[in-house]
Structure 1
Amino acid sequence: MSQNAAPKSIQSNLKAFLADRFDLSQGKAKEEETVLEIKQNIVFKGANLWILIFAIMVASVGLDTNNTAVVIGAMLISPLMGPIMGVGLGLGTNDFDIIVQSVKNWGIAVLISILTSAFYFWVSPLNEAQSELLSRTAPTLWDVLIALFGGFAGIVAGSRAEKSNAIPGVAIATALMPPLCTAGFGLATGQWNYFFGACYLFWINSAFIALATYVVVRLLRFKPKEFIDPKRERRVRRYVGLFLLVTLIPSVYTAIEVVRESLFKRNANEFIARELSFENSQVINRHLVYSRKGSHIDVTLYGQPISDEMINRITLRMPNYHLEECSLDIIQDFQQEAGIDVTTIELLNERIRAGIIEDLYRRNENQIKNRDDRIKLLEKEIIDYRSRDINTLDLIEEIKVIDQNVAAISVSPAFVTNIDSLSTDTLYLVYVNFHKKPTTKETQHLENWLQARIKTEKIKIVQD
Structure 2
Amino acid sequence: MTPTEKTLLIHQQPENSVRLRSALEATLHYGGELEPVLLDEFMNDPSAFLRGRKHVVSLLTNSELSQLLREAHRYQFSVGLLPAKDKSIICRLFNIAEQIEDAVPRALDPDKAYPVDLLLCNDEAVIWTVLIGEAPFITMRQHAYEKKPLREQVNEFIASIPNLTKLKPFELSVSTEKGQRIETAVTGVLVIENDIETLAANLINESISSQDGKLSAIFLAPSSVMDFLNFLMIAIYCKLRAVSHLPRAVGYIKSATLELSSPNTLSYAIDSRQRKADRISLKTIPQGIAINVGERYKAAHKVIHDDAKDTAKIKPLRHSAEHVNRLKKRMPFFSTAIESDFKELFLMLRDNAKLSGPYISLMILSSMLATFGLYLNSSPVVVGAMVLAPLMGPIVSLSMGILRNDSKLLRSGMTVFGIGIALGLFVSIITALLIPYEQLTPEIRARSQPSLLDLGVAIISGSAAAYTHAKATLLRTLPGVAIAVALVPPLCSMGIGIAWWDWNIISGTGLLFLTNFAGIALAAAITFLFLGYSTIFRVNRGLGLSLLLLFLVSVPLYHSFVNTAVHSRITNAINAKTYKVNDKTIEVDDVEVVSIGKKVRLSVKLHSSDPLVSEDVAALRDYISKQIERPVLLDASFSILQ
Structure 1: runs of 5+ lacking an equivalent: 227-232, 304-344, 350-354, 363-414, 420-424, 434-464
Residue 429 of structure 1 pairs with residue 569 of structure 2:
no
CA distance in 2, matches of 1:254, 1:215: 23
What per-residue deviation string (whole Å, max 9, x for no partner) do you get for residues 44-70 of structure 1?
Answer: 342211111011111112112122212
Structure possessing the higher radius of gyration over alpha carbons: 2
Selected match of 2:374 from 56, 60, 63: 63
Judged with a 3 Å threshold, the aligned counterparts in structure 2 of structure 1 residues 288 and 33 are, in CA distance, closer, same or farther, namely: same
Q: Give the match for residue 595 of structure 2.
A: 289
Please say if residues 421 and 491 of structure 2, whose CA atoms lie closer than 8 Å, have aligned partners that are also in contact: yes
Quote how far apart the aligned CAs of 1:300 are.
10
The structure whose residues are more often strand, as a share, is 2
Q: Which runs of 5+ in 2 are unaligned?
A: 1-140, 148-198, 204-232, 250-314, 316-336, 626-632
Q: What displacement does 1:110 show?
A: 0.9
Give the superposition deviation at 1:147.
1.7
In the alignment, is residue 244 of structure 1 matched against residue 546 of structure 2? yes
Match of 2:510 in 1: 199
- Aligned residue among 493, 498, 520 for 1:187: 498
How many angstroms does 1:206 deviate by? 0.8
**Whole-angstrom CA distance in 1 between matches of 2:545 and 2:367:** 29
Q: Does 1:138 align with 2:361?
A: no
Is this contact kept in 2: 1:283–1:300, CA < 8 A?
no
Q: State the partner residue of 1:129.
A: 440
CA displacement at 1:182 relative to structure 2: 0.7
**Structure 2 match to 1:333:** none
Give 1:431 shift. Answer: 5.2
**Hey, what's the Cα distance between the residues in 2 that align with 1:188 and 1:31?**
44
Rounded Cα–Cα distance in structure 2 between residues aligned with 1:264 and 1:75: 31
Aligned residue among 356, 364, 375 for 2:614: 356
Q: Does 1:150 align with 2:470?
A: no
Distance 1:59 1:170, change over 3 A: farther
User: Matches of residues 282-321 of structure 1 in structure 2 within 5 Å?
Assistant: 284=588, 287=593, 289=595
**Pick aligned residue for 1:99 from 410, 427, 452:** 410
**1:14 shift after superposition:** 2.3
> Residues 22 and 50 of structure 1: is their aligned pair in 2 closer, same or farther, counting only changes over 3 Å?
farther
Q: For residue 121 of structure 1, what is the amino acid of its counterpart?
A: A
Cα distance in structure 1, aligned partners of 2:596 and 2:530: 37
Whether the 8 Å CA contact 1:348–1:356 is kept in 2: the answer is: no
Q: Would the alpha carbon gap of residues 244 and 432 (structure 1) be closer, same or farther in structure 2, given more than 3 Å must change? A: farther
Preserved CA contact (<8 Å) 2:370 2:385: yes
Residues 262-291 of structure 1: per-residue CA shift (max 9 Å, x gap) = 444445556668xx9866686846746398
Map 1:50-449 → 2, pairs under 5 A: 50-168=361-479, 170-171=481-482, 174-223=485-534, 239-268=541-570, 284=588, 287=593, 289=595, 346-349=609-612, 355-357=613-615, 429=637
After superposition, the Cα gap between the structure-2 partners of 1:290 and 1:30, relative to the gap in structure 1 and judged at 3 Å, is: farther
User: Within 1, Cα distance between the matches of 2:557 and 2:478?
Assistant: 26
Alpha-carbon shift at residue 347 of structure 1 (Å): 3.9
Contact 2:405 2:540 in 1 (8 A): no
Instruction: Provide the TM-score with structure 1 as the length reference.
Output: 0.55
Q: In structure 1, what residue type is equivalent to 2:551? A: I
Higher helix proportion (structure 1 or 2) = 1
Judged with a 3 Å threshold, the aligned counterparts in structure 2 of structure 1 residues 298 and 151 are, in CA distance, closer, same or farther, namely same
State how far apart, in whole Å, the 2-side matches of 1:432 and 1:55 are: 46
- TM-score, normalising length from structure 2? 0.41
For residues 390 and 528 of structure 2, what CA distance do their matches in structure 1 show? 20
Change (3 A) 1:301 1:92: closer
Measure the CA separation in 2 of the matches of 1:22 and 1:122. Answer: 58
**Residue type of the partner of 2:360?**
L
Q: CA separation of 1:174/1:125 partners in 2, compared to 1, >3 Å: closer, same or farther?
A: farther
8 Å CA contact 1:60–1:181 kept in 2: the answer is yes
CA contact (8 A) 1:95 1:224 kept: no
Q: Deviations over 1:355-386 (max 9, x none)?
A: 435589x9xxxxxxxxxxxxxxxxxxxxxxxx
Is the 1:58–1:71 Cα contact (8 Å) retained in structure 2?
Answer: yes
Percentage of matched positions with identical amino acids: 22
Distance 1:46 1:75 in 2: 19
Q: Secondary structure at the match of 2:637?
A: strand
RMSD: 4.7
Structure 1 residue 205 displacement after superposition:
1.0
* Structure of higher RCO (CA pairs closer than 8 Å, 6+ residues apart): 1
CA change 1:302–1:158 in 2 (3 A) is closer
Output one character per residue of 1:307-352: Cα deviation in whole Å (capped at 9) or x when no partner.
xxxxxxxxxxxxxxxxxxxxxxxxxxxxxxxxxxxxxx94414xxx
Aligned length: 314
Amino acid at match of 1:356: S
Does the CA contact (< 8 Å) of 2:458 and 2:516 recur in 1? yes
Amino acid at match of 1:4: A
In 2, the alpha carbon distance for the partners of 1:286 and 1:41 equals 43
- Determine the C-alpha separation between the residues in 2 that align with 1:17 and 1:202: 47
The 1-side partners of 2:634 and 2:554 are apart by 41
1:14 paired to 2:277? no
